[in-house]
Amino acid sequence: MIAANVDTLFIVASCNQDFSVARLERYLVLAREVGVNPVVVLTKADLTDTSDAFAAAARAIDSGLRVEIVNSRDPASVSCLAAWCGKGQTVALLGSSGVGKSTLVNTLRGSDDIATQPIRATDGTGRHTTTGREMHRLKGGGWLLDTPGMRELQLADAATGIAEVFDDILLVAQDCRFSDCAHGREPGCAVQAAISGGTLTSERVDRWRRLSAEDGVDAAFSTKRRR
Ligand SMILES: Nc1nc2c(ncn2[C@@H]2O[C@H](COP(=O)(O)OP(=O)(O)OP(=O)(O)O)[C@@H](O)[C@H]2O)c(=O)[nH]1
Ligand SMILES: [Mg+2]
Ligand SMILES: [Zn+2]
């Protein structure tokens, strides 16, 4: 349990070496599983010339996904997030340490009350500055929930979320010859055919397998269920 009664989840990631599609997918599974509206917030756009490439990688997960590119320290830049932070709205911020969650909260509140700390120069990882979950009120009546950065988000009981985030794969798998196809070397496997044909990437299929295995979901079973 990370939070309760949340309307929107800001999945915060930075446009640097710490960015990971696999991690974004995990957070998305969590959001879909519990029915919270996800918004991917890509920070540190001011430190790179290639923020569009990071945004494209995030959008490739799901074309309908909201992806915002910001400089968390700049009020004008974060104003694109105001729409989710209005009166009566609760927004939780999740993401690795050092991506700028507390910086975003400070800027959205127009204060610098919350401690932040530079990331390590060597590997770009954060210093676990925020150690507890805390809610911060916005002048307009919304609430922001700042959380400690998590490097690993373990999922459990997230079969529904996994099925939603990886719906593209499950859709293709409906055309496998065998209803219990494990998408390995079975003849007539539509997933392998889609990988060969370039409509699915083997990396994404591998990430789906890994998440499903971790969650204890039998991939063949979820295919059958969708069918
Ligand atoms: N240039 C720039 N620096 C940023 C941006 N966002 C955050 N930072 C800096 O990145 C460092 C880490 O930011 P924090 O807000 O402490 O990160 P956090 O996600 O709260 O980290 P934890 O509390 O450890 O989970 C700070 O030095 C921030 O000033 C940004 O968009 N641009
Ligand atoms: Mg913090
Ligand atoms: Zn198959």
Mutate to test the pocket of ligand 1, among 2, 17, 49, 117 (most ligand atoms within 8 A of CB): 117
CATH code for the domain in which residue 41 is found: 3.40.50.300
Q: Which ligand 1 atom is nearest residue 105's CA?
A: 15
CATH code for the domain in which residue 181 is found: 1.10.40.50
Determine the distance separating the centroid of ligand 2 and the alpha carbon of 148, expressed in angstroms: 6
Last residue of a domain, one of 118, 146, 174: 146
* Cα–Cα distance, 3 to 151 (Å, whole number): 17
- Based on C-alpha coordinates, what's the Rg of the chain? 19
- Under 8 Å between Cβ of 51 and 42: yes
Last residue of a domain, one of 120, 146, 172: 146
Same domain, 164 and 134: no
> From atom 23 of ligand 1, which residue's Cα is the shortest distance away?
130
Last residue of a domain, one of 111, 146, 181: 146
Q: How many domains does the chain have?
A: 2
Main-chain phi, psi angles of 6, to 5 degrees:
-100, 135
Residue 152 inside a domain? The answer is no
CA dihedral 214, 158, 126, 63 (to 10 degrees): 110
Which residue's structure tokens are 């998305």? 28
Instruction: Give the ligand whose atoms come closest to the C-alpha of residue 116.
Output: 1
Same domain, 61 and 91: yes
At residue 124, the pLDDT reads 85
Q: Can you say how many angstroms the Cα of residue 86 is from the centroid of all Cα atoms in its chain?
A: 22
Determine the distance separating the centroid of ligand 1 and the alpha carbon of 63, expressed in angstroms: 27
At residue 149, the pLDDT reads 93
Summarize pLDDT for 193-225 with one digit per residue, the tens: 999 999 999 999 999 999 998 877 655 555 666
- Under 8 Å between Cβ of 138 and 35: no
Low-confidence residues of the chain: pLDDT under 50: none
Boundaries of domain holding 43: 8-146
Same domain, 98 and 210: no
Q: Which ligand 1 atom is nearest residue 130's CA?
A: 23
Same domain, 104 and 78: yes
* Alpha carbon separation from 57 to 42, 52, 74, 159, 210 (Å, rounded): 11, 9, 24, 24, 19
Residue type, 140: G
Determine the distance separating the centroid of ligand 1 and the alpha carbon of 176, expressed in angstroms: 46
Task: Give the H or E element holding residue 40.
Answer: strand 37-43
Residue 114 inside a domain? The answer is yes
Which residues keep their CB under 5 angstroms from ion ligand 3? 176, 181, 183, 189, 191
Which residues does 67 contact at the CB level (< 8 Å), separation at least 6?
A: 39, 40, 42, 55, 58, 59
> From atom 7 of ligand 1, which residue's Cα is the shortest distance away?
100
Same domain, 173 and 207: yes
